[in-house]
Structure 1
Amino acid sequence: MPETIDGPHGPVPVRRYGSTGARTLVWLHGGGFFRGDLDLPEAHEVAGALATAGLAVVTVDYRLAPLPGLPAVGRRGPRGRRRHPVPNDDVVAVLRAVRHAADGTVLLGGASAGACLAAAVTRALSAPQRPDGLVLAYGFFHARTPRDPSVTRTVRGHRRLTHHPTLLDRANHNHVGRGSPTETAFAGGQDLTGFPPTLMVDAECDSMRASGDRFAEELSAAGVPVERHVLPSARHAFLNQPGSHDFTVAIERIVDWTTG
């Protein structure tokens, strides 16, 4: 059952998996910033699999952005939809609470939009407050999605449309809002000096991989230890498919890295 952690905009629901141990991962689901919750396989199944492998996991039900094109829907109530920086503030509150209670290493990670939030939060924090490591699955990290025809040609099915770089840019704009600075919302293209060691697990056939490619280069250029795996023939959101080959491989990569 979810519990809550106090945040600057109200209680933040979280769910804990596994027993408290030497390593705890704070994990953020994806969903384009405007959908997803703690029951999403990308949250629940991932956390359960990692906990079975011995990693303590805390999943976060951060505040979602407005529905694209319907900004007035769902804005009321204590869990009303809000744009950046509210989701980031929720994540920071949980990260601080977990670090305060933890005896060992605290990691931060996420998938897709959750990976973007994890990287942006890490960059915004001062060095002593940053997580000890980052786990980023098929994330995007730039306000404007890098255009790479060699990547977009690999995308198949409905995501050729829904994950077209132009629509991804619109989702990013919906997350931040009109007139707001993007520097604190997207870590890509910013100064990444002092970032913690980072694991990246990406999908080969994913238009967001262009952002992952560039972000990995930016991290390396900043002197950050990066381990990156691009799963051959994998598609976006493979962590939403528990039991699949790509899900299993990704969990193995995360376990190996976090326990190594």
Structure 2
Amino acid sequence: MRKAAARALNALTAGLDIRDDAVPGRHGTIPVRRYRAGPSPAGRLIWLHGGGFSSGGLDQLESHAVGAALAWRGIDVIAVDYRRVPPWNPFRDPRPGSLTGIRFPVPLDDVVDAFASEQDTALLGGASAGACLAAAAALRMHTEGRPMPAGLVLVYGCFHAQLRPIPDELRQRIRGRHGIFQFRPSTVRRMHHNYAGSEEALADPLAFPGGHDLPPLPPTFMVNADRDALRASGDAFGRELTTAGTPVDHHLVPEAMHGFLDRPHTRQFTAGITLIANWAETHSRGIE
């Protein structure tokens, strides 16, 4: 961890009530981490980190720093350590028959079960792969007739099995030095195939809800990064949600690249947290 990020994390976590816990799930217990700054929260959010479905965890800054920062803004956070799929090779397609072990829908099952265990939790959200899982979980709750979140918070997610075509405006934003660490369509395909486990599962809307006919979902707050190729999917999914009748509030963090919530020492992190906290406060319900 960079020194600046470590200092920012130390400042965010000092004095907070942070507790490691576990909730029941169909595949076994699910580790969670709870963040609270005071006795009267203004909102409550179950939060899902990113990591390509295969990495990350409760100590990841995109989980730990986000939970702490939102707690200071009055939002109780329950960060979920959902089961992750095995690592993948971004430069090579998987060998036939090699995609064994934990795959879809196991991480999604964990998210649905974690949400169900928090009867008074209002919002569900995540970043990157976590945003995809949050959207898919809401779709599954709707399909199964389960209680729904009061709202969704989707931050720089990729919601389609294949990366959507990149518009000219976005292509201009990711050229030059900003293109060095961008996701390529082939990389996204391999990452998503690794999560889904099969070509058939890739086409399942509960794996990747983008590109499918959607029902109206809970009010959705989308935050995308200005200089991020995955914004092509986020922007397209926002339009798909709107077409389905879902209220969508869409924001773009200027000059931000993918993963800015993993950098708590930056102004983009602060901007993103402020946007999320303000929206969460006005869209939460069931707060003690």
User: Do the structures match in fold with TM over 0.5?
Assistant: yes
> 1:49 is matched with which residue: 69, 77, 81?
69
Q: 2:239 aligns with which of 202, 211, 217?
A: 217
Q: Secondary structure at the match of 1:234?
A: strand
- 2:139 aligned residue: 123
**Number of the residue aligned with 1:256:** 278
Cα distance in 2 between the residues matched to 1:188 and 1:203? 18
After TM superposition, list the pairs within 5 Å mapping 1:27-66 onto structure 2. Answer: 27-66=47-86
| SS of residue in 2 equivalent to 1:145 | coil
- What does residue 225 of structure 2 align with? 203
Q: Does residue 147 of structure 1 match 2:171? A: no
Does the CA-based 8 Å contact 2:150-2:219 persist in structure 1?
yes
Residues 138-217 of structure 1 aligned to structure 2 (within 5 Å) = 138-150=156-168, 151-155=170-174, 157=177, 160=180, 163-182=183-202, 183=204, 184-217=206-239
Structure with greater contact order relative to length (CA < 8 Å, sep ≥ 6): 2
RMSD across aligned C-alpha pairs, in angstroms? Answer: 2.3
| Contact preservation (8 Å) 1:63, 1:81 | no
Report the TM-score when normalising by structure 1.
0.89
CA distance in 2, matches of 1:63, 1:229: 29
Report how far residue 222 of structure 1 moved. 1.0
Question: 2:43·2:76 contact (CA, 8 Å) conserved in 1?
Answer: yes
Letter in 1 for 2:272: A
| TM-score calculated relative to the size of structure 2 | 0.81
Identity %: 45
Deviates most, 223-232 or 179-188? 179-188
Please say which structure displays the higher CA radius of gyration. Answer: 2
Check whether the contact 1:165–1:207 (CA below 8 A) recurs between aligned residues.
Answer: no
Hey, what does 1:108 align to over in structure 2? 124
Note if contact 2:167-2:232 (Cα within 8 Å) is conserved in structure 1.
no
- Matching residue of 1:95: 115
Amino acid of the structure 2 residue aligned with 1:163: F
Q: 1:159 to 1:93 in 2, by over 3 A?
A: farther
Deviations 1:44-84 (A, max 9, x none): 0001010111111000001111111498xxxxxxxx96111
> Number of paired residues?
250
SS at match of 2:153: strand
In structure 2, C-alpha distance between the alignment counterparts of 1:152 and 1:63, rounded to whole Å: 34
CA distance in 2, matches of 1:118, 1:157: 31
Q: 1:9 to 1:147 in 2, by over 3 A?
A: same
- CA distance in 2 between partners of 1:258 and 1:230 (Å): 17
Aligned residue identity for 2:129:
A
Contact 2:42–2:281 (CA under 8 A) maintained in structure 1: no
Q: Kindly provide the amino acid, as one letter, of the partner of residue 26 in structure 2.
A: P
Question: Could you report, residue by residue, the CA deviation over 1:148-186 in whole angstroms, capped at 9, with x for unpaired residues?
Answer: 152244225586455112111110111001243232101
Secondary structure of the 1:34 match is coil
Deviation per residue, 1:21-46 (Å, 9 max, x gap): 46310000001111100001100000
Residues 16, 88 of structure 1: alpha-carbon distance in 2 compared, 3 angstrom cutoff: same
What is residue 75 of structure 1 aligned with on the other side? none
Which structure 1 segments of 5+ residues have no match?
Answer: 72-79
The answer for unaligned runs of 5 or more in structure 2 is 1-18, 95-99, 283-288
For 2:245, the aligned partner's letter is G
